[in-house]
Structure 1
Amino acid sequence: MSVIVVFLAVIAGISGWWLSQQRLMSKPWLEQGAVVFPGTESGSMPAAKLGLGIFLAVVGALFALAASAYFMRMGISDWRPMPVPKILWLNTGVLALSSVALQCALVAARRQQSDTLRLGLVTSGITAICFLLGQLMAWRELVDNGYLLTGNPANSFFYLLTAMHALHIVGGLVALAVTTFTAWTVEWRTGRLRLKVELCAMYWHFLLFIWIALFVLLNGWAARFVDICRQLLT
């Protein structure tokens, strides 16, 4: 249970900081000057961004519960740790590059640099697809070495966690494809496109954070850290 508490605390901290930057607790009726309705000025938070924030909080809780189940299942005698394919290191770097490219696209959208914006979106999409292909290669390597889905609970958790993350990447690619298409239309200078790019960047950065947490978990580093903390507390 300590793992899920720590994970949820991190998610809550990030969500609290993000919401504080969006003036969620502001009182516009007490502010002087012209009345500004939500979504009409840069300081307010669009409904789409708030909705995405709530969705990411739910997704974070889902992965936290899965990580908690992973730790509890490790304590049973039939648990046999499986080797983590080395290609996951490369996949992690590719996903990080995808996130960086999308952040560059967001900066370009704010500066109205169309060429850089389009390059960033395309680069992010291509690297994300490469990440998914790398995950397929990792699964194929494990299957060829005899680590099947039903072979051991450790195997099942590996496929479950990585497949959950991959499905969220696929969903993000759909939104990224729509945003990239919009960037090639006459709407690329509008705030609508900037909002789409910002939402994609938020989602991508979150998935990168989730993947790094899963990577640490699957490599056994999280379990070692928890053991060290328990030894220090006892």
Structure 2
Amino acid sequence: MTIGLIFLSLLVAVIVGWLMRQTLVEPWRAEVVVPEVRVGLAAMPTAKVALWVFLGVASSLFVLFVSAYVMRLGLADWSPIPRPRLLLLNTVFLMGASLAMEWTVYSARRADAGNVRRGLAASGLLTFAFLAGQLYVWKQYHDAGLLLSSSAATAFFYLFTAVHGLHVLGGLVAWARASLRVWRGADAARMRLACELCATYWHYLLAVWLLLYVLLVSEDLGLAICSAAPL
């Protein structure tokens, strides 16, 4: 398990580096013509291929973490921790950010620059609200004396939320580049690929978070890191 995690972490780092060159620099610029690769009968931009490869590797990493969690959950000394009330609100924030990204793509396809700007701004604000909420949950646990080393449940809570949070921060780098180009007056229609890449990534972040949320709070399924007792 440890060797697998190390290998996947290194692989993620390599792919992220390549992704930064292929997708976070060039395709987020309005003026760039994005190269295409052939996938079956359809042509797909290299940026999209790179993003999907990265998401596949990231998913494998999350699967390994979840597998380790399920194995640890079966031991007799497992003790759930109190559930932060703010987790549900944070989930709503991320859902709103994902919907705003989808609206941004719709606006870009219609070459509606005003709504592209508003969509990117709304998704960014909601994403920052999600991160702020997650940090506040960490503060609540810290104030309650529930630290990383307190128990296996707290360790997995911090692990899951930290890894997901790092992925969110990575997405905000791409969001910032796209937003900067739009606010500088880039043509909305030519920003379509950048908006589509952002939207795909935000939908992925939401899907992963919903899975993690189930692991965190679904006590009835016997999987919960957090108990029904509120923090």
> TM (normalized to structure 1)?
0.76
Larger helix percent: 1
| Offset at residue 220 of structure 1 (A) | 3.3
Amino acid at match of 1:61: S
* C-alpha distance in 2 between matches for 1:221 and 1:182: 45
The answer to whether the 8 Å contact 2:112/2:188 transfers is no
Amino acid at match of 2:56: A
Q: Which ranges of 4 or more aligned residues in structure 1 deviate by more than 2 Å? A: 185-191, 220-225
Q: Deviations over 1:191-219 (max 9, x none)?
A: 3x211111000000000000000000111
Structure of greater relative contact order (alpha carbons < 8 Å, 6+ residues apart): 2
Amino acid at match of 2:91: T
Q: How does 1:38-53 map to 2 (within 5 A)?
A: 44-53=43-52
Q: 1:220 aligns with which of 210, 218, 227?
A: 218
Q: What residue number does 2:155 align with?
A: 156
Q: What residue number does 1:9 align with?
A: none
Q: Extract unaligned runs of 5+ from structure 1.
A: 1-21, 27-42, 226-234
Q: Extract unaligned runs of 5+ from structure 2.
A: 1-36, 224-231
C-alpha RMSD of the superposition: 1.7
The answer to whether the 8 Å contact 1:114/1:188 transfers is yes
Between stretches 180-189 and 75-84, larger displacement belongs to 180-189
Identity of aligned residues (%): 43
Larger strand percent: 2
The answer to whether the 8 Å contact 1:71/1:223 transfers is no
Q: Deviations over 1:132-155 (max 9, x none)?
A: 000011111111122111000111
> TM (normalized to structure 2)?
0.77
1:222–1:207 distance in 2 versus 1, CA, 3 Å: farther
Structure ID, larger Rg: 1
Q: What residue number does 2:11 align with?
A: none
